[in-house]
Amino acid sequence: MSSELFSARTADHYVSTMTQGIDVLARRLAAVDTPTSGRTPAEVEPLVRGVDLDAPLLDVGSALEELERVYLDDAVWFHDPGYAAHLNCPVVVPALLAELFVSSVNSSLDTWDQSGGATFVERHLVDWTAERLGLGPDADGVFTSGGTQSNLQALLMARGQTFLTGDVDPGETFAAALSRFRIFASDESHFSVRKSATLLGLGQGAVTTVPTDERRRLDPEALDVSLGNARAQGLVPMAVVATAGTTDFGVVDPLREIADVCRRHGVWLHVDGAYGGGLITSLRYRHLLDGIEHADSVTVDYHKTFFQPVSASAVLVRHADTLRHVTYHADYLNPRAANLPNQVDKSLQTTRRFDALKLWLTLRVMGADQVGEHLDATLDLARAAHAMLDADPELEVAAEPVLSTLVLRYRPQGVSEALADDVNPRIRTALARSGRFMVAGTVADGRRWLKLTLLNPETTSADVARILDAVRDKGRELLDDLHAYEEAGR
Ligand SMILES: *Cc1c(COP(=O)(O)O)cnc(C)c1O
Q: Give pLDDT tens digits along the chain (490 positions).
A: 578 999 999 999 999 999 999 999 999 999 999 999 999 999 999 999 999 999 999 999 999 999 999 999 999 999 999 999 999 999 999 999 999 999 999 999 999 999 999 999 999 999 999 999 999 999 999 999 999 999 999 999 999 999 998 778 888 888 999 999 999 999 999 999 999 999 999 976 999 999 999 999 999 999 999 999 999 999 999 999 999 999 999 999 999 999 999 999 999 999 999 999 999 999 999 999 999 999 999 999 999 999 999 999 999 999 999 999 999 888 888 888 778 999 999 999 999 999 999 999 999 999 999 999 999 999 999 999 999 999 999 999 999 999 999 999 999 999 999 999 999 999 999 999 999 999 999 999 999 999 999 999 999 999 999 999 999 999 999 999 988 888 887 6
Helix, strand or coil for residue 282? coil
Q: How far is the CA of 461 from the centre of ligand 1 (A)?
A: 26
Q: How far is the CA of 242 from the centre of ligand 1 (A)?
A: 13
Contact 389, 405 (CB under 8 A): no
Helix H or strand E encompassing 300: strand 297-301
Q: State how far the alpha carbon of 440 is from the alpha carbons of 310, 349, 412, 434, 449, in Å.
A: 19, 31, 20, 15, 9
Residues 6 or more apart in contact with residue 205 via CB below 8 angstroms: none
Supply angle C-alpha 77, 81, 86, rounded to 5: 60
Helix H or strand E encompassing 261: helix 255-265
Q: How far is the CA of 364 from the centre of ligand 1 (A)?
A: 26
Contact 275, 252 (CB under 8 A): no
- Note the CATH number of domain 369-489: 3.90.1150.170
pTM over 0.95: yes
Any atom of ligand 1 within 6 Å of the Cβ of 334: no
Contact 433, 37 (CB under 8 A): no
What phi, psi does 239 have (nearest 5°)?
-165, 150
Q: State how far the alpha carbon of 23 is from the alpha carbons of 11, 16, 99, 102, 340, in Å.
A: 18, 10, 17, 20, 42
Q: How far is the CA of 16 from the centre of ligand 1 (A)?
A: 38
Contact 449, 398 (CB under 8 A): yes
Any atom of ligand 1 within 6 Å of the Cβ of 314: no
Give the residue whose CA is nearest to atom 15 of ligand 1. Answer: 247
Any atom of ligand 1 within 6 Å of the Cβ of 148: yes
Q: Burial, 245: exposed, middle or buried (Cβ in 10 Å; 0-12, 13-18, 19+)?
A: buried
Q: Burial, 310: exposed, middle or buried (Cβ in 10 Å; 0-12, 13-18, 19+)?
A: middle
**CA 440 to CA 459: how far, in whole Å?**
17
Q: Given the DSSP bridges, would you call strands 83-84 and 438-444 parallel, antiparallel or unpaired?
A: parallel
Q: How far is the CA of 77 from the centre of ligand 1 (A)?
A: 20
**CA 197 to CA 416: how far, in whole Å?**
39
Any atom of ligand 1 within 6 Å of the Cβ of 107: no
CATH 3.40.640.10 fits 99-365, yes or no: yes
Give the residue whose CA is nearest to atom 6 of ligand 1. Answer: 147
Ordered by start, the domain boundaries in the chain are 8-75, 99-365, 369-489
Q: Which atom of ligand 1 is nearest to the CA of 246?
A: 13
Residues 6 or more apart in contact with residue 350 via CB below 8 angstroms: 110, 333, 344
Q: Which atom of ligand 1 is nearest to the CA of 148?
A: 9
Q: How far is the CA of 311 from the centre of ligand 1 (A)?
A: 11
Q: How far is the CA of 145 from the centre of ligand 1 (A)?
A: 11
Q: Across 196-262, where does the E strand assignment appear? A: 207-210, 236-243
